[in-house]
Chain A
Amino acid sequence: MTDTAVATPRRRNVLTSRIKGLARRSPTAAVGFAIVGLFALGGIFAPLITPYDPVHSFPREILVDPGSTFWFGTDGNGMDIFSRVIFGARYAFAIAVPAVLLSLVIGVPLGLWVGYVGGALDEVTMRVLDALRVFPSIILALAVVAAAGPSVLNVVLVIGVLDSPIFARVVRAEVLALRSSTMVEAAKAAGNPTWRIVMVHLLPNAIQGAMAQSAVRAAWAIRISAALAFLGVGIQVPTPEWGVMIRQGAEFMVTGQWWVALFPGVALMILMLGLNMLGDGMQDLLNPRRRG
């Protein structure tokens, strides 16, 4: 488009100053972004950071206290908890990112379509989605994963599908508000075909809410996958996944080996906090009228 052609070639400077501006305007988003970024880097560079193989068992070092050799101690199999917690970030992102992408891919076009067409289609679709949301999602996920088999792929598919109505709803609400706006009327008057009104004019303005939601939904996806693993239907031992580790550690809580469950639990908590802060901050930042 003419956009890039007309723009000045100072893109990079504009970008860095804009990032600084964003951080100043929403410290919440900045802190959230830093936390999530730290976990992402930890996951990516896990083999370089971790002192041990996360699934290597030291038969003589079972349930060792946190200390200088094993920073977070070892678990019931004699595996290094620090290494497992770092590798756990990989699983968290490996589930959250594709699950949220799947939700977006299903939910956003659905919301755009029913919102723009409206009428009976909209009513029926929304009632069906409501019915889906009434089920406690953890029970539904539990049933589906138990039936389909406990693999990472199945967990991703279930979470992604179950969460798509949220995105459909957010996008639909925006489209409903925009559909009768002067902006859309002007686009029509300019001679835009329907597909272009929807894709070029509605989508970029309707997707903001969904983008802000995606961080919050990623936190939800990580929590559900951890819950499934904790309940024993998701990812299985000895995979270094936080839910699995918390489940293993739960047995040792009563006998005083608190570190087995505590460290993966704290990691899970901090990442969820970071994602939620990022989501909240993005909500404010993505409002175009406030860009200054």
Chain B
Amino acid sequence: MNAIGDTDQTTATPLAERRPILTARDLVKEFDVGGATLHAVNDVNFTIRQGEIVGMVGESGSGKSTIGRLVLSLLKQTSGDVTFDGENLASLSDKALRALRARMQIVFQDPWSALNPRMSVGRQIGEPLLLHTNLSRSERRQRVERLAERVRLPAKFLSRTPAELSGGQLQRVCIARAIATEPELVVLDEPTSSLDLSVRAGILELLAELRRELGVAMLFISHDLGTVKLISDRIIVLYLGTIVEEGPASLVFGAPAHPYTQALMSAHLPPNPRAPLKRHVLEGEVPSPINLPKGCRFASRCPVALPECSDSLPPLVATGEEDRRAACIRIADGGNRLNL
């Protein structure tokens, strides 16, 4: 299913046998909103292996961006652990965590606000090198020029300020900054959703190329299924801060198990405009994350829900097919299929 990234040099080692670079265990994040507690992320567990691209999908408010910030310790979790290459991030000193940031980077959704408007983009690309390496100024400049070339940003832009560049160019700057120290993990928080459609393809191609050449692991957060499908090895589907399904991209896209995943996939337009549309439009509203339902979080909108679905939270269990897990009690009796 990796339409672009399938000539991966690291495919020598099968994904499942590679060392985990990032592990999130029982991750919980609650926000205090005027006395009430907003449950943004609830007991989330997942692993990203070396060089693996994990696509994280869900509607807005599903907690995907919060997870992106938690795994980089840009936000502090309420409970649970994030382990990066064997190191528990919460146990690190500020200094050790800062040093570790050379190995884990992020690209934000909105490149206009992610860059310092008063610093030349060349300086911003070189900033991680300044912070994490002992390179001399001229060595840094050479590296910055090579990075610019790699993200296809003309070198003449390097001395300019962000206001003088377009959105696509700015996102290339952000990507160059993120890969400057050759990190092992890059979190991409909706890196294309604030860009024009015409610019998007270029950025995606660039990401696929980087993945091929650098073998960097990525957590690709997006609500755009088409984008995620294009680039991911594995998919995590979130609903209200909880993982409802997780598995290889081909399986999750080809035969989604959880009713929510099925509905989500059916809402995505197929590339062929003449293909018959088989959609299931979900009824009702997403429940409030302040007042989470007791049982399955999706039960209130699920067309195949049984009364017992609202009794207790279904565990994320293996479905029997190759490394796929889903949290739906109806998979066991085969009643999880939506009539599309």
Interface residues of A (CB under 8 A from B): 1-3, 5-8, 181-183, 185-193, 196, 200-201, 204-205, 288-289, 291-292
Contacts and interface: CB of A to CB of B under 8 A. Distances in A.
B16 interface: no
A3 B113 CA distance: 20
A1 B117 contact: no
A7 B137 CA distance: 13
B116 A201 contact: yes
A3 B114 contact: no
B144 interface: yes
A5 B141 contact: yes
Contacts of B72: 189
- CB-CB nearest 3 A-B residue pairs: A191-B101, A6-B122, A7-B159
21 contacts: A1-B123, A1-B130, A2-B122, A2-B140, A5-B141, A182-B114, A183-B115, A185-B74, A185-B108, A186-B115, A186-B174, A189-B106, A190-B101, A190-B177, A191-B101, A191-B132, A192-B131, A193-B98, A196-B131, A200-B116, A204-B118
B116 A187 contact: yes
Given A2-B140, A7-B120, A186 B108 contact: yes
B140 to A, nearest CB: 6
B198 interface: no
A83 B72 CA distance: 67
Contacts of A1: 123, 126, 130, 137
Nearest to B106: A189
Interface string B215-243: 00000000000000000000000000000
Interface in B127-146: 127-128, 130-132, 137-138, 140-141, 144
A200 B124 CA distance: 11
A2 B138 CA distance: 8
A32 B120 CA distance: 30
Given A5-B137, A8-B159, A186 B132 contact: no
Contacts of B122: 2-3, 6
A6 B131 contact: no
Nearest to B189: A182
B123 A191 contact: no
B99 to A, nearest CB: 7
B144 A6 contact: yes
A288 B119 CA distance: 11
Contacts of A187: 116, 127
Contacts of B132: 191
A6 B161 contact: no
A3 B115 contact: no
B102 interface: yes
A8 B158 CA distance: 10
B110 interface: yes
A275 B287 CA distance: 57
Interface in B87-112: 94, 98-99, 101-102, 105-106, 108, 110
Interface in B34-75: 69, 72, 74
B163 interface: yes
A196 B123 CA distance: 14
Contacts of A181: 113
Decide if the interface of chain B is mainly helix, strand, loop or mixed: helix
A192 B101 CA distance: 9
A187 B102 CA distance: 12
A20 to B, nearest CB: 18
A181 B106 CA distance: 15
Nearest to A188: B74
Interface of A is mostly: helix
Contact of A183 (B105, B114, B123): B114
A292 B177 CA distance: 24
Contacts of A185: 69, 74, 108, 114
Q: Which of A5, A183, A186 gathers the greatest number of chain B CB atoms within 10 Å?
A: A186
A187 B98 CA distance: 11
B116 A3 contact: no
A291 B123 contact: no
A133 to B, nearest CB: 30
B214 to A, nearest CB: 18
A182 B105 CA distance: 14
Contacts of B123: 1-3, 6
A289 B161 CA distance: 10
B131 A191 contact: yes
A186 B69 CA distance: 11
Contact of B137 (A2, A193, A200): A2
A205 B116 contact: yes
B131 A2 contact: no
B98 A191 contact: yes
A191 B115 CA distance: 14
A291 B138 contact: no
Given A188-B74, A190-B177, A205-B118, 17 more contacts: A2-B122, A2-B140, A6-B158, A183-B115, A183-B116, A185-B114, A186-B115, A190-B131, A191-B98, A191-B128, A192-B127, A193-B94, A200-B116, A201-B116, A204-B118, A288-B117, A288-B161
A2 B108 CA distance: 23
Given A182-B113, A190-B127, A190-B128, A288 B163 contact: yes
Contact of A288 (B69, B118, B159): B118
B136 to A, nearest CB: 10
Nearest to B137: A5
Interface in B152-208: 158-159, 161, 163-164, 174, 177
Contacts of A188: 74
A192 B74 CA distance: 12
Given A190-B128, A191-B98, A191-B101, A289 B159 contact: no
A181 B110 CA distance: 11
A204 B163 CA distance: 15
